Structure 1
Amino acid sequence: MAEHMTSADAIFRIVIEADLQRVWRELTKTDEAQGAVFNAWLHTTGLVPGAAMQMRTGSGKHVMVVGEVLEFDPPRRFVHSHRFTQYDDPVCQVAYDLKPVAGGVQVTLRVSGMPAGTRTAKSMQQGGDTILRNLKAIAERGRPPLATRLMYIAFDWLEFVLPGRTRSEHWPL
């Protein structure tokens, strides 16, 4: 396996005009799709440190991300390891920190240990702002923007093109 250098942390931040519990639930819910996180479903053996976790497609037929819960401190901090199943890239770490501020909740998304020059690093750099913008829209208005909703419909229609290596049977929880 090739050795990868890690790039600097990617840090994304936004203030959301919503209740802390509303924002926290949107990031940690397991009973419905996470509209902020590309409409994936969080599956886990438990939201406790050491528990396995996955982000799956709506049908459950594909696993997009695997990881482990590293920290879980409701409603302030959620940290997990992160590896895209479609790539052979090393694991990185994703941390969500929520802090009440005047006018709402400041959410900081930090991605640490991204393997420099990999598809994972590129995807994470591009995805951070998108996740936080969608989180803001959902927490404040109840749904992501129209363009995002249309993209999610396309994701569902095109699920059949995902690589076979992402099929759920290859990633038991």
Structure 2
Amino acid sequence: MSERVFRIKISAPIERIWHELTKTDEAQGAIYDAWLHTTVLGPGAPMQMRTGSGKNVIVDGRVLVCNPPHHFAHTHRFTQHDDPVCEVHYELKELGGGEVEVTLRVVGIPEGTATGKAMASGGDFILKHLKLLAEGQGLPLSTKLMYFMMNHMEFVLPQRCRSANWPMKAKGD
């Protein structure tokens, strides 16, 4: 198991950045256009990242920390793999002058797995796109095209990713 740390400085209000990371009412453009689903945004609550149609679960986990607007953390398991669970932590720190440092820390990455490979490059992608969105620049055309293709090709996801196979359970269930 290992840890990866990604950092970026964003010129935007901390509340805007927090909203981009925790919104549940629209797709998260910084996080592969997935939709965050949860029963409540609080420690112990189940959470999932789903496709736009809601028919598939990409990530299943539980909220570990929700301390607005400074720290959001959850367990993370890609539903298409049998890899061990890891943790994802978003830490936001105001630097002054309208800048916020965002640290994305992935803890317990199962090395040599599909999850490990995805996490090695995913952090840079997420923070780069978070910066663009929070600063009001929007997504690049290449990312929009990638998201379009992902949304129209979700039928190729394995059957095991179907939402029916990943019911959201309350803590203790």
TM-score class normalised by the smaller sequence: over 0.9
**What is residue 70 of structure 2 aligned with on the other side?**
76
Gaps of 5+ in 2: 169-173
1:49-104, CA deviations, whole angstroms, 9 ceiling, x for partnerless residues? 00000000000000000000001100000010000000000000000000011341
1:143 Cα offset (Å): 1.9
2:80 is matched with which residue?
A: 86
Q: Secondary structure at the match of 1:54?
A: strand
Amino acid at match of 1:165: R
* TM-score for both structures, normalised by structure 2: 0.95
Show structure 1 runs of 5+ residues with no match: 1-5
Q: Is the 8 A contact 1:135 1:144 kept in 2?
A: no
Counterpart AA for 1:15: K
Whether 1:22 and 2:35 are equivalent positions in the alignment is no
- Aligned alpha-carbon RMSD (Å): 0.8
Residue 20 of structure 1 aligns with an amino acid whose one-letter code is I
User: Paired residues, what number?
Assistant: 167
Q: Which moved more, 1:154-163 or 1:55-64?
A: 154-163
Deviations 1:146-173 (A, max 9, x none): 1111110010111111111000000011
The alignment status of 1:160 with 2:155, answered yes or no, reads yes
State the alpha-carbon separation in 2 of the partners of residues 28 and 141 from structure 1.
Answer: 17
Distance in 2 of aligned mates of 1:157 and 1:69 = 29
Amino acid aligned to 2:87: Q
Q: Percent identity?
A: 60
Q: Retained in 2: the 8 A contact 1:99–1:105?
A: yes
| Alpha-carbon separation, structure 1, partners of 2:73 and 2:57 | 19
| Cα offset, 1:141, TM superposition | 2.0
Are residue 139 (structure 1) and residue 134 (structure 2) matched?
Answer: yes
Q: From 13, 18, 25, give the equivalent of 2:7.
A: 13
TM normalised by structure 1 equals 0.95
2-structure distance, mates of 1:75, 1:100: 10
